[in-house]
Amino acid sequence: MFRWISLPRVEGVAARQAHTDLPDGTFERELGREGFYGPSTQMLHRHPPTGWVNIEGPLRPRAFDTNQLTETSVSPWDATPILGNLHVKIRCWHTYSAMDHLVRNADGDELLFVHEGSGHLYCDYGHLAFSEGDYLLIPRGTLWRIETSRMAVFLVIEASNSSYRLPEKGIVGAHAVFDPAILDTPKIDEAFRAQQSERAWRVLVKRRDRLSAVTYPFNPLDAVGWQGTLMPVRLNWRDIRPLMSHRYHLPPSAHTTFVSDRFVVCTFCPRPLESDPGALRVPFYHNNDDYDEVIFYHRGQFFSRDNIHPGMMTLHPAGITHGPHPKALEAAKTRSRAETDEVAVMIDARDALEVADLPRGVEWEGYVDSWK
């Protein structure tokens, strides 16, 4: 056990409360630890903390346009890697047909976010239909395959050597954000029984990022029933009811959907904007110095970004201040919008993320200059 050094102090000009009633002409920057869960200080500046003229080196903010990825594959193991480290791997999978084989991830739980399309998941536990905006959480070791009749695009997030769990919801209670009762599970229904057969099936098992092929003379998705507490689940962003405060801008941690050992997955959903005259209406500038932040933009106009469209992904490495774009900051001051309309998936990774080798044109090289 340990305790943070905690000596609350006020020096010079400061707001009485964080993120509210900032003195005129100041810009707030939060220096925090442990992804908004640890100690923090709100620093007031005369200039925007993102007002740089140039950044050299690997810590520059980066943006990627997954719409520029044109390669399709039948297998998720051929999906395009984007970012990753020892604890999380982020891939983009474009597919347009029914998988002709089964897969099993022996490296960790798999989380699929359906960016485009619809179809059917068949797995050990049964059949589960899916559509745009769904999360499909598939536990480690599960046999599964996807059937889709048209193009489907998935953001695939692997919890390497780990698992996904629900966040602690504290004083707001177990039903806040989303009630676990809303989670859908596979069914042993007629569609599942109809796909069972005596013809040969191959299973591609991934372990330590290497594939092994196992062939059966029958379809191993042949369950007749099950009982227990381990199973895939489906959650759509439309079933998430975000925490809100009309007088205070809540940090991203309030929107946590799933947690793993070394990263969290958050979902930003449409919500009313803060209405209190003194409250910030965009994310505060911050140094989240223990986490790399990744955001995948699913739909709508992200309220703190400019020139970002659905299908794009941004990376803000730990060590570089990040926050709203200038146009978003000015729009917040005019209070021209009453609510947000974006849907985005955020991954906060405790360990530094490496960027994969991507095809030319996928990365927007000018993103670092978009705060000018």
pLDDT band at 175 (very low <50, low <70, confident <90, very high): very high
Q: pLDDT tens, 179-234?
A: 999 999 999 999 999 999 999 999 999 999 999 999 999 999 999 999 999 999 99
Class of domain 71-237: mainly beta
Residues 48-73, mean pLDDT to the nearest whole number: 94
Task: For the chain, give every domain's residue range.
Answer: 27-63+240-369, 71-237
| pLDDT: which is higher, 64 or 249 | 64
Per cent of the chain over pLDDT 90 is 77
- The structure tokens listed for 300 are 């709508």
Q: Whole-prediction pTM value?
A: 0.95
Average pLDDT over every residue of 19-41: 89
CATH topology agreement for domains 27-63+240-369 and 71-237: yes
pLDDT band with cut points at 50, 70 and 90 for residue 356: very high
Cα 240–chain centre separation: 14
Share of the chain above pLDDT 70, in %: 99
pLDDT number for residue 13? 93
Beta bridge partners of residue 257, listed in sequence order: none
The residue-averaged pLDDT of 160-182 equals 95
pLDDT given for residue 221 in this prediction: 98
What is the per-residue pLDDT for 251?
87
Position 100 scores a pLDDT of: 96
Give the Cα separation of 176 and 197 in Å (integer).
Answer: 43
Dihedral sign, Cα of residue 163, residue 40, residue 174, residue 242? negative
Exposed (0-12), middle (13-18) or buried (19+): which is 111, by Cβ within 10 Å?
A: buried
In the predicted structure, residue 263 carries a pLDDT above the cut 80:
yes
Give 295-355 as a DSSP string: EEEEES--TT-SS--TTEEEEE-TTS-B---HHHHHHHHHT--SB---EEEEEEESSPPEE
The pLDDT confidence band at residue 164, using thresholds 50, 70 and 90, is very high
pLDDT tens per residue across span 117-157: 999 999 999 999 999 999 999 999 999 999 998 999 999 99
- For the domain bounded by 27-63+240-369, which CATH number is listed? 2.60.120.10
- pLDDT 10s digits, 295-322: 999 999 876 677 899 999 999 999 999 8
pLDDT value of residue 137: 98
Provide mean pLDDT across the span 327-340. Answer: 79
- Count of residues for the chain? 372
